[in-house]
Amino acid sequence: MAVARWHSPHHRQSGSRELQAKNGMTEHRSGFVSIIGRPNVGKSTLLNALLGQKVAAVSPRPQTTRKRQLGILTIEHAQVVFVDTPGIHNPHHKLGEFLNQEAEESLQGVDVILWLVDSSSAPTEDDIRIADLLNKLPIRAHRLLVLNKIDTLSAEAEGESVRVEAFSRLLNHADVSTELNTGALKVSATKRLGLDELREKLISMLPEGPPDYPEEQVTDSYERDIAADLIRESCLKILRDEVPHSLAVRIDEFKERENGMAYIAATIFVERESQKGIVIGEGGKMLKSIGSAARKEIEEMGGRKVFLEVRVKVSKDWRDNQNMLNQFGYIKRK
């Protein structure tokens, strides 16, 4: 997989493309689309579905995504650089503050802000918080309201329009594209409904210009960072209680072996001794299933066999410990 470092949208090289656009030399469009929304609405699922490949961890639990991540879609007439972000919520730890900051910073300097909402429930406090942020934005990027999970709504059209109305009412309408009642902006990321229309709508909102990234590049994340997220994803899916939120994963070693396999050693950090016991499970059973589910995902991502070794360590209350947050790369950029 082609990977590179995070590039802030502010740092993209846009000079040449502005010139090209001015000269009318191209009808190619390119730009940045931030996907924001409260936790668990399906932002990362939507990103993966739009790209047609998995670059972002996904789970049924909130706060799966912890860092901004680019997903780059290159097609013949356009390049869309999606920014997947952590869910915006009411924070209870330093970690939560970091997550919100990651998401809020992604509102700056992008061409389109895609506000993804969960159509299976009425707007929540977090949705209101996000709408307020969007209404207060000094620089007006295009904003687009998209309803996800329409597969969960009953067949009566009434359910959909009630939801569209409830969410769009939260926005200051002067310059919002909500495309009410067109059906174009109601999607199901898991059932792949409405994605072609959404993609074309987004492209039409981007400026003309050449691509910012090489066509083979699909994300800005290193494979080892995605591997850490996939291990955390498998914990989030397999563990039942509150433990998953107290989890962080560090990759200690990532080596390509001559036989074509990769060797990965990772540590799962939890906040308390009791949680360590839960993650390891009776006779190490739980850790074994976490490791084997993660290994499969990492193998699929890299297209090669992986030998994965995982251990568990306690780092007391790390979610409120700035040093530990730094170690895991949850570092405020400003």
Ligand X SMILES: Nc1nc2c(ncn2[C@@H]2O[C@H](COP(=O)(O)OP(=O)(O)OP(=O)(O)O)[C@@H](O)[C@H]2O)c(=O)[nH]1
Asked if 106 touches ligand X (CB under 6 A), the answer is no
Q: Distance between CA atoms of 106 and 90, rounded to whole angstroms?
A: 18
Shortest approach of ligand X to residue 49 CB, angstroms?
Answer: 8
Asked if 108 touches ligand X (CB under 6 A), the answer is no
Strand 112-118 relative to strand 29-36: parallel, antiparallel, unpaired?
parallel
Residue 265 to residues 114, 163, 259, 311, Cα–Cα distance (Å)? 36, 46, 17, 8
Asked if 39 touches ligand X (CB under 6 A), the answer is yes
Asked if 58 touches ligand X (CB under 6 A), the answer is yes
Shortest approach of ligand X to residue 116 CB, angstroms?
Answer: 7
CB 43 within 8 A of CB 37: yes
Annotate 125-140 with b (16+ C-beta within 10 A) or e (fewer).
Answer: ebbeebbebbeeeeee
Of 41 and 308, nearer to ligand X (C-beta) is 41
What SS3 string covers 175-219? Answer: HCECCCCCCCCECECCCCECHHHHHHHHHHCCCECCCCCCCCECE
Q: Distance between CA atoms of 163 and 57, rounded to whole angstroms?
A: 27
Decide: helix, strand or coil at residue 87: coil
**E strand spans, the chain:** 29-36, 69-75, 78-84, 112-118, 142-148, 248-256, 262-270, 306-314
Binding-site partner at residue 54 among ligand X, Mg ion, none, CB < 5 to 8 Å by type: none
Other CB atoms closer than 10 Å to residue 245's CB: what's the count?
17
Of 43 and 201, nearer to ligand X (C-beta) is 43
Binding-site partner at residue 31 among Mg ion, ligand X, none, CB < 5 to 8 Å by type: none
Of 44 and 315, nearer to Mg ion (C-beta) is 44
Task: Please pick, from the candidates 86, 194, 244, 291, the single residue that binds ligand X as defined by CB under 6 A.
Answer: 86
Asked if 100 touches ligand X (CB under 6 A), the answer is no
**Continuous segment of H or E residues that includes residue 290:** helix 285-302
State the residues that interact with Mg ion by CB under 5 A. Answer: 43-44, 64-65
326 by Cβ neighbours in 10 Å (0-12 / 13-18 / 19+) ranks as exposed
Shortest approach of Mg ion to residue 261 CB, angstroms?
Answer: 29
Task: Please pick, from the candidates 6, 62, 97, 267, the single residue that binds ligand X as defined by CB under 6 A.
Answer: 62
Task: Please pick, from the candidates 34, 64, 69, 221, the single residue that binds ligand X as defined by CB under 6 A.
Answer: 64
Shortest approach of ligand X to residue 60 CB, angstroms?
Answer: 4
Binding-site partner at residue 40 among ligand X, Mg ion, none, CB < 5 to 8 Å by type: ligand X
Binding-site partner at residue 39 among ligand X, Mg ion, none, CB < 5 to 8 Å by type: ligand X
Contact map string, positions 121 to 150, toward ligand X, x by CB under 6 A: ---------------------------xx-
Binding-site partner at residue 177 among Mg ion, ligand X, none, CB < 5 to 8 Å by type: none
127 residue type, one letter: D
Residue 5 per-residue DSSP state: -
Shortest approach of Mg ion to residue 117 CB, angstroms?
Answer: 14
CA atoms within 13 A on the CB side of 118: 18
Asked if 275 touches ligand X (CB under 6 A), the answer is no
Of 139 and 155, nearer to ligand X (C-beta) is 155
Other CB atoms closer than 10 Å to residue 195's CB: what's the count?
16
Q: Which of residues 169-228 bind ligand X (CB under 6 A)?
A: 188-190
Shortest approach of ligand X to residue 328 CB, angstroms?
Answer: 16
Asked if 324 touches ligand X (CB under 6 A), the answer is no
Where do contacts with ligand X occur on this chain (CB under 6 A)? 37, 39-45, 58-60, 62-65, 86-87, 148-149, 151-152, 188-190
